[in-house]
C-alpha cells in the first residue's frame, strides 16, 4: 500500500518568530534570530550568543502549575502542535482520533531540566527534587503529552537521530501514513538546548562560530570565511495527512510529500565522510522513492551549518547526485538566520520548503560575502528571489553519521 501523503497544516516557535507567518516573513526579509544569550550568565564562556526563542511565556500559555511540570522543549512542541492542528482543521468534524498519531523528535529532550534538578539535589537534598523530573527529561514526553491533550491514540513515538531528527520525524510519519497505519500524523521536532553544559561542550569542540562582535552575522554557510555554526532552539510541526482523507474533509493542501531517504555512515561520531557518501545515499534514496529524476529538483534547503567541513561535503554530495543540474538548482541555508535548532532543524527547514512551494519565493542565505571555490552552487546570497519551484528537497545530517532527506512537491489536484 503506497498512499499519497500531503501537508495540511504547520506551526512554529522559533528564534525568527513564534508563528509560521512571522517566521516566514522574517526569513524572506533576511532577518537573523541570533543575539546575545539571556537565559544564563555567559561571562565565563568564550561564546555568548545563540538563537533564543523570544517572547514565549509558558505559564501564560499553559498555566504556572502545568508549566512547572514540563521542560521547555515540551512547551515549544505543545504550542507549535496547537498551531499546526488549528491551521489544518484536522480535528474538526468527527475525525477518527485513533487514526491520528504523533512523531515528535528531540536530540536531548529535557536535558536542561535534568541539569536544574541536579543542582537542586546537590544544594537542597533529594527530598526537594521535582517529582516530575523523569517525565520532564524523556524525549517521548512531548508527543505523549500532546496526544493526551487531543486524545490522539494512533502511532506515537519520539525519533532521535541527532541533527537529522526533524527530517527523520517527517519521513517516518510519511511512511506510517503511506503504509496505512494512520490517516494523519503530527510530525516535527523540538529542542531547548541553550544551557551552560551544551554551550561549554560545543565550545571546547570548537564547533561554534566565535563571532561575539556580530552575532547576527556569525553563521555564514558556504562562505569562504565561515567559522562554525550557531546554537539555537525552538519547535516546528507539520500535519501530514493521507490525500483522500484530506480531500474528503476539504482541507487546504499545502504540498505533497513524495520521497524520503535515510541512512547512517558507520564512520565517525562527530565528522562526516569527506566523500559525502552518507549524504549521497540519503538524497539518492529519497529521489528513488519519489520516482523522479534528479533533474526535476528545483530547490534544496541544505543542512548548511556554516562549518568548514559540512558545507564542503554537502556541496560535493549535491553535485554527485544531481550532476550538471546541480548548477541550475537553487540552494539555501536557513541556518544563516535561524541558527541550528538541532532536533528541530529539519522541521523548520521542511516548513521553509513548503512555503517556498506555495509562495514561489526563495528565502536567502545571509552573511554571504566571499565565494568559496569548493562551495560553488547558487546559494541565493543575501536577498530573496522569486522562483517557480515544483520540487523541493531538504537535507539534514547529524552527529553519529545520520543522514536524512525529504522531498516535497507542489500540490496538483490532478
Residue 414: predicted pLDDT: 60
Domain match, 244 and 264 both: no
Q: What is the mean pLDDT of residues 354-369?
A: 99
**Residues catalogued as catalytic:** 163, 303, 340
Helix (H) or strand (E) holding 145: helix 141-150
Rounded to an integer, what distance in angstroms lies between the CA atom of residue 138 and that of residue 292? 39
pLDDT (tens digit, 9 = 90+) per residue, 216-228? 999 999 999 999 9
Q: What is the mean pLDDT of residues 95-118?
A: 98
Q: Please report whether residue 282 resides in a domain.
A: yes
pLDDT band at residue 412 under the 50/70/90 scheme: confident
Rounded to an integer, what distance in angstroms lies between the CA atom of residue 209 and that of residue 292? 38
Q: Judging by beta carbons within 10 Å of its beta carbon (0-12, 13-18, 19+), is residue 122 exposed, middle or buried? A: exposed
Choosing from 190, 223, 248, the residue where a domain stops is 248
Q: Please report whether residue 144 resides in a domain.
A: yes
Choosing from 192, 216, 248, the residue where a domain stops is 248
Domain match, 79 and 36 both: yes
Q: Please report whether residue 233 resides in a domain.
A: yes
Cite the beta strand spans of 72-130 per DSSP E: 100-105
Backbone angles phi, psi at 159, to 5 degrees: -105, 135
Rounded to an integer, what distance in angstroms lies between the CA atom of residue 131 and that of residue 122? 16
Choosing from 228, 248, 268, the residue where a domain stops is 248
pLDDT (tens digit, 9 = 90+) per residue, 389-403? 999 999 999 999 999
Domain match, 58 and 100 both: yes
Give the 3-state secondary structure of residue 94: coil
Q: Residue 164 is placed in which grid cell?
A: 537529522
Domain match, 162 and 286 both: no
Computed from CA positions of residues 82, 85, 89, 92, in that sequence, does the dihedral angle turn out positive or negative? negative
Q: Residue 74 is placed in which grid cell?
A: 515540551
Residue 93: predicted pLDDT: 83
Q: Residue 101 is placed in which grid cell?
A: 498519531
Domain match, 211 and 308 both: no
What percentage of the chain reaches a pLDDT higher than 70?
Answer: 100
What percentage of the chain reaches a pLDDT higher than 90?
Answer: 98
Q: Which of 23, 86, 81 has its CA nearest to residue 355?
A: 23
Asked if 260 and 407 touch (Cβ cutoff 8 Å), the reply is yes
Give the 3-state secondary structure of residue 309: helix
Domain match, 239 and 267 both: no
Domain match, 112 and 216 both: yes
Q: Please report whether residue 253 resides in a domain.
A: no
Helix (H) or strand (E) holding 311: helix 308-322
Domain match, 354 and 218 both: no
Helix (H) or strand (E) holding 287: helix 277-290
Q: Please report whether residue 255 resides in a domain.
A: no
Domain match, 17 and 151 both: yes
Q: Which of 211, 234, 195, 228 has its CA nearest to residue 41?
A: 195
Domain match, 244 and 293 both: no
pLDDT for residue 37 is more than 70: yes
What's the number of domains the chain is made of? 2
Q: What is the mean pLDDT of residues 349-363?
A: 99
Average pLDDT, the chain: 98
Asked if 165 and 303 touch (Cβ cutoff 8 Å), the reply is no
Q: Residue 255 is placed in which grid cell?
A: 504540498
Q: Please report whether residue 15 resides in a domain.
A: yes
Q: Please report whether residue 244 resides in a domain.
A: yes
Q: Judging by beta carbons within 10 Å of its beta carbon (0-12, 13-18, 19+), is residue 238 exposed, middle or buried? A: buried
pLDDT for residue 358 is more than 90: yes
pLDDT (tens digit, 9 = 90+) per residue, 250-301? 999 999 999 999 999 999 999 999 999 999 999 999 999 999 999 999 999 9
Domain harbouring 52, CATH code: 3.40.47.10
pLDDT (tens digit, 9 = 90+) per residue, 341-352? 999 999 999 999
Instruction: Determine how many CB atoms are found less than 10 A away from the CB of residue 263.
Output: 19
Q: Please report whether residue 254 resides in a domain.
A: no
Domain match, 235 and 96 both: yes
Computed from CA positions of residues 273, 277, 278, 283, in that sequence, does the dihedral angle turn out positive or negative? positive
Domain match, 374 and 318 both: yes
Domain boundaries, position 303? 260-409
Amino acid at each position: 500500500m503506497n498512499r499519497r501523503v500531503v501537508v495540511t497544516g504547520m506551526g512554529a516557535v522559533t528564534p525568527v518568530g513564534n508563528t509560521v507567518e512571522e517566521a516566514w516573513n522574517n526569513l524572506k526579509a533576511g532577518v537573523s534570530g541570533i543575539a546575545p544569550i539571556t537565559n544564563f550568565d555567559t561571562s565565563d564562556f568564550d561564546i555568548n550568543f545563540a538563537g533564543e526563542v523570544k517572547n514565549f511565556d509558558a505559564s501564560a500559555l499553559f498555566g504556572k502549575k502545568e508549566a512547572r511540570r514540563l521542560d521547555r522543549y515540551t512547551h515549544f512542541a505543545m504550542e507549535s502542535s496547537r498551531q499546526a492542528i488549528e491551521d489544518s482543521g484536522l480535528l474538526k468534524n468527527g475525525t477518527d482520533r485513533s487514526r491520528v498519531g504523533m512523531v515528535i523528535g528531540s536530540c536531548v529532550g529535557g536535558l536542561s531540566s535534568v541539569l536544574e534538578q541536579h543542582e537542586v539535589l546537590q544544594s537542597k537534598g533529594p527530598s526537594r527534587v521535582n517529582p516530575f523530573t523523569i517525565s520532564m527529561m524523556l524525549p517521548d514526553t512531548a508527543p505523549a503529552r500532546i496526544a493526551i491533550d487531543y486524545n490522539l491514540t494512533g502511532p506515537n513515538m519520539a525519533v532521535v537521530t541527532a541533527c537529522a531528527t526533524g527530517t527523520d520525524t517527517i519521513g517516518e510519519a510519511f511512511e506510517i501514513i503511506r503504509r496505512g497505519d494512520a490517516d494523519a500524523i503530527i510530525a516535527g521536532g523540538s529542542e531547548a538546548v541553550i544551557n551552560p553544559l551544551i554551550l561549554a561542550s560545543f565550545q571546547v569542540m570548537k564547533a561554534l562560530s566565535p563571532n561575539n562582535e556580530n552575532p547576527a552575522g556569525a553563521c555564514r554557510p558556504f562562505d569562504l570565511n565561515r567559522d562554525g555554526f550557531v546554537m539555537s532552539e525552538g519547535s516546528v510541526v507539520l500535519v501530514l495527512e493521507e490525500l483522500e482523507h484530506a480531500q474528503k474533509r476539504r482541507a487546504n493542501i499545502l504540498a505533497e510529500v513524495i520521497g524520503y531517504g535515510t541512512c547512517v555512515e558507520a564512520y565517525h561520531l562527530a565528522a562526516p565522510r569527506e566523500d559525502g557518501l552518507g549524504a549521497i545515499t540519503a538524497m539518492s534514496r529519497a529521489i528513488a522513492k519519489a520516482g523522479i529524476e534528479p533533474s526535476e529538483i528545483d530547490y534544496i534547503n541544505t543542512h548548511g551549518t556554516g562549518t568548514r567541513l559540512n558545507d564542503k561535503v554537502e556541496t560535493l554530495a549535491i553535485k554527485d547526485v544531481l550532476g550538471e543540474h546541480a548548477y541550475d538548482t537553487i540552494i539555501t541555508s536557513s541556518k544563516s538566520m535561524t541558527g541550528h535548532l538541532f532536533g528541530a532543524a529539519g522541521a523548520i527547514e521542511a516548513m521553509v520548503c513548503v512555503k517556498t512551494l506555495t509562495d514561489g519565493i526563495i528565502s536567502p542565505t545571509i552573511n554571504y560575502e566571499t565565494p568559496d571555490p569548493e562551495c560553488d552552487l547558487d546559494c541565493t546570497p543575501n536577498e530573496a528571489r522569486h522562483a517557480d519551484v515544483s520540487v523541493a528537497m531538504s537535507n539534514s545530517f547529524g552527529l553519529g553519521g545520520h543522514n536524512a532527506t525529504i522531498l516535497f512537491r507542489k500540490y496538483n489536484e490532478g
